[in-house]
Chains A and B, each alone.
Chain A
Amino acid sequence: MISVRGLTKRFGANTVLDGIDLEIGAGERVAIIGPSGTGKSTLLRSLNFLEKPDEGQITVGDVSVDAKTATAAEQRGLRRRTSFVFQNYALFANKTARDNIAEGLITVRGWERAKAHARADEILSTIGLANRGDSYPAALSGGQQQRVGIGRAMAADAELMLIDEPTSALDPEWVDEVLQLLKRVADARQTMLIVTHEMQFARDISDRVLFMDGGRIVEQGPPEVMFSRPKDPRTAAFLRKVL
């Protein structure tokens, strides 16, 4: 169970998140859509304190963190219960694909190396890279790198997977393989919050779609309703532009 209360983030005088309230149930898959610069990435990054929010309360499972009083240990607790898939993959450049997946298991969860590697190899098969475990990121295609990025997030077994525009840095030829993998992750009912510009994909995998504009959640609902009968004129205008 994930709950966000009054999450606020300012960059100087610019209020980028304006008191976001959000509840996400276990196994729920939530897609965020909205125009550029409305705070979608900032919301995801604030949820695991890559960006320190100014105000608000974040609860993920058994950790509850108040933005104003958050300690380093609390932030790490939150990060352990969430996983992040980056737009630009952000794989550890000095680690092989296998070690990228195993790293968090070893350092953060204290697993033995052999056990972590065995788990990483399972995940490598799942993401279709069983034979690339020894490759460094620089030797992988964009699509392969992003699949490893997703594999790293899968290894975390997180209560919430945060995914920021997973395909927008990819050459078109690699988009499908990444979307297909994410579809499988979603089908396994991994709780996720995904920012995407792929509207068809959002419709396919999500239980709920949030439309954000100006640092707020303007409208939300099931994809069938959001994409065909949006209530707010701003949602309608946005969808007319992108569909």
Chain B
Amino acid sequence: MRPLDLDYMLGLVPVLLKYVPLTLAMASVAMVCALALASLMAIVRVTRVPLLDGFTQVFISFFRGTPLLVQLFLFYYGLPQVFSFLTAINGVTAAVMGLTLHFAAYMAESIRAAIIGVDRSQWEASLSVGMTTPQMMRRIILPQAARVAAPTLVNYFVDIIKSTSLAFTLGVTELMGAAQKEAAGSFLYFEAFILVAVIYWIIVEALTVVQRQLELRLGKAHAR
């Protein structure tokens, strides 16, 4: 066993940390877009909007049934060959789009289950005061479903953060891509990759703290 090159690792920390903002930005944009899309798809499924419901089912089935890596390659390398207006698409955009669609499919199912779990009486009370379906969803049903779905959705955010590392296969120099480049120059693969692993780990642990806060806040309505 050779000793770890600690000096090299220490020097690498600031280099890699520079890429954390990009990773977080990609993950955050994908999360926000995926949440919005997933909520829409969940509502379409629950309220059985004709046509859209069928389309949504196929969409969800496809994006859950195929590997994320395949989807990313399809977006970045495949689609531009078929649709010429996509040739301008860069790696970051393709990765964010891929992550959005992939995780929206998973999140839609969680949100749908949470919506169905909201007691029937909440729907009836909303309708009885004369609300429209969108008003009922936005003001009564979704907030209650959010409380149930929140822990699962945060877990998907964790998955998204980790999955941004796949963007390096599309030629994006993000956290993982940077570590890969550094390692290829120094041949100190273990040092570079253990460091990048620890950085992901710390980000995710920090998020779990936020998750606990969020759950406390959302649980307020049910506290005595």
Taking CB atoms, residues of chain B closer than 8 Å to A152 are 129
What 0/1 readout, one digit per residue, does chain B (114-129) give for beta carbons within 8 Å of chain A?
0000010110111111
B128 touches A50 (CB 8 A): yes
Question: In the complex, how many angstroms separate the beta carbon of B124 from the nearest chain A beta carbon?
Answer: 5
Indicate if A67 sits at the interface (CB-CB under 8 A): no
Taking CB atoms, residues of chain B closer than 8 Å to A76 are 130, 132
Indicate if A103 sits at the interface (CB-CB under 8 A): yes
Question: Which chain A residue lies CB-closest to B139?
Answer: A107
Known: A79-B129, A108-B130. A138 touches B222 (CB 8 A): yes
Indicate if B23 sits at the interface (CB-CB under 8 A): no
B127 touches A90 (CB 8 A): no
27 A-B residue pairs with Cβ-Cβ distance under 8 Å, sorted by A, are: A50-B127, A76-B132, A79-B128, A79-B130, A83-B128, A83-B129, A88-B121, A92-B125, A92-B140, A93-B221, A93-B222, A94-B140, A104-B129, A104-B131, A107-B129, A107-B131, A107-B135, A108-B129, A108-B130, A108-B135, A136-B222, A136-B223, A138-B221, A138-B223, A139-B223, A139-B224, A156-B129
Taking CB atoms, residues of chain B closer than 8 Å to A82 are 128
Indicate if B56 sits at the interface (CB-CB under 8 A): no
B223 touches A90 (CB 8 A): no
Indicate if B217 sits at the interface (CB-CB under 8 A): no
A84, A93, A152: which has the most chain B beta carbons within 10 Å?
A93
Taking CB atoms, residues of chain A closer than 8 Å to B129 are 79, 83, 103-104, 107-108, 152, 156
What residues of chain A have their CB less than 8 Å away from a CB belonging to chain B? 48-50, 72, 76, 79-80, 82-84, 86, 88, 90-95, 103-104, 107-108, 136, 138-139, 152, 156
Taking CB atoms, residues of chain B closer than 8 Å to A86 are 121, 124-125, 128
Taking CB atoms, residues of chain A closer than 8 Å to B130 are 76, 79-80, 104, 108, 156
Known: A76-B130, A107-B131. A91 touches B221 (CB 8 A): no
- Bound complex: CA A72 to CA B222 (Å): 33
- Bound complex: CA A86 to CA B120 (Å): 12
Taking CB atoms, residues of chain B closer than 8 Å to A94 are 140, 143-144, 147, 221
Q: How large is the interface on B (under 10, 10 to 19, 20 to 34, 35 or more residues)?
A: 20 to 34
What 0/1 readout, one digit per residue, does chain B (124-163) give for beta carbons within 8 Å of chain A?
1111111110010001100110010000000000000000
Instruction: Specify which of B124, B222, B224 is in contact with A50 (CB 8 Å cutoff).
Output: B124
Question: Which chain A residue lies CB-closest to B142?
Answer: A94
Indicate if B212 sits at the interface (CB-CB under 8 A): no
Taking CB atoms, residues of chain A closer than 8 Å to B139 are 103, 107
Question: In the complex, how many angstroms separate the beta carbon of B48 from the nearest chain A beta carbon?
Answer: 15
Taking CB atoms, residues of chain B closer than 8 Å to A84 are 124-125, 128
Instruction: Specify which of A49, A50, A136 is in contact with B220 (CB 8 Å cutoff).
Output: A136
B132 touches A136 (CB 8 A): no
Question: Which chain B residue lies CB-closest to A48?
Answer: B128
B124 touches A90 (CB 8 A): yes
Known A-B contacts: A93-B144, A95-B221. Give 16 more (CB < 8 A): A49-B127, A76-B132, A79-B127, A79-B128, A82-B128, A84-B128, A93-B222, A94-B140, A94-B147, A94-B221, A104-B130, A104-B131, A108-B130, A138-B222, A138-B223, A156-B129
Taking CB atoms, residues of chain B closer than 8 Å to A108 are 129-131, 135
Taking CB atoms, residues of chain A closer than 8 Å to B140 are 92, 94-95
Question: Which chain A residue lies CB-closest to B135?
Answer: A107
A48, A72, A94, A152: which has the most chain B beta carbons within 10 Å?
A94
Taking CB atoms, residues of chain B closer than 8 Å to A138 are 221-224
Question: In the complex, how many angstroms separate the beta carbon of B118 from the nearest chain A beta carbon?
Answer: 8
Taking CB atoms, residues of chain A closer than 8 Å to B224 are 138-139
Taking CB atoms, residues of chain B closer than 8 Å to A92 are 122, 125-126, 140
Question: Which chain B residue lies CB-closest to A96?
Answer: B221
Question: In the complex, how many angstroms separate the beta carbon of A33 from the nearest chain B beta carbon?
Answer: 23
B220 touches A90 (CB 8 A): no
- Bound complex: CA A103 to CA B127 (Å): 12
* Closest CB pairs A-B (n = 8): A104-B129, A90-B121, A84-B128, A90-B125, A80-B130, A79-B130, A108-B130, A94-B143
